[in-house]
Amino acid sequence: MHNPNNSEAFSIYVIRPDGSGLRRIHVAGLEGSAEVDRERINHVCFSRDGEWLLFTSNLGGVTVEPVSLPNQFQPYGDLFVVRLDGTGLRRLTWSGYENGTPTWHYGSELALSAMSLKDEVAGEKLTGEFDEPLWIKFN
């Protein structure tokens, strides 16, 4: 369960409308592991079918140093999706900027099927390609 003494960790919990069935969705690791103690998940939203969760997190680690982007409030807010049972973790963005408060798009003009969320990808095999948005130059 949640440790109220650890103000650094934010996790995903779900509960039934009647208040029963409280459970944690394990994303970063098993309960009690060091990964879970550092887990910081924010801005969670459900997909329309209730099977996927979209959220911002530090699961990719801090990808930018404060000196290169000094005005960033939280330089660890990449977007991730995971199934409601904690499987299928997929990283969607790789950026030094916080991606804010995500939401699902339900319109017909955007092909969400191109994201290929049906493929199983283990969290430890996630990769990304990115370009640093700012390079510090000095003489």
pLDDT 10s digits, 43-70: 899 998 999 999 988 777 655 555 565 6
Mean pLDDT of the residues in the chain: 72
Distance CA 46, CA 51 (A): 7
- Positive or negative, the Cα torsion across 93, 49, 53, 26? negative
Higher pLDDT, 95 or 24: 24
How many C-beta neighbours within 10 Å does residue 5 have?
Answer: 5
Tell me which residue of 64, 66, 62, 45 sits closest to 54, measured CA to CA: 45
pLDDT band at 18 (very low <50, low <70, confident <90, very high): very high
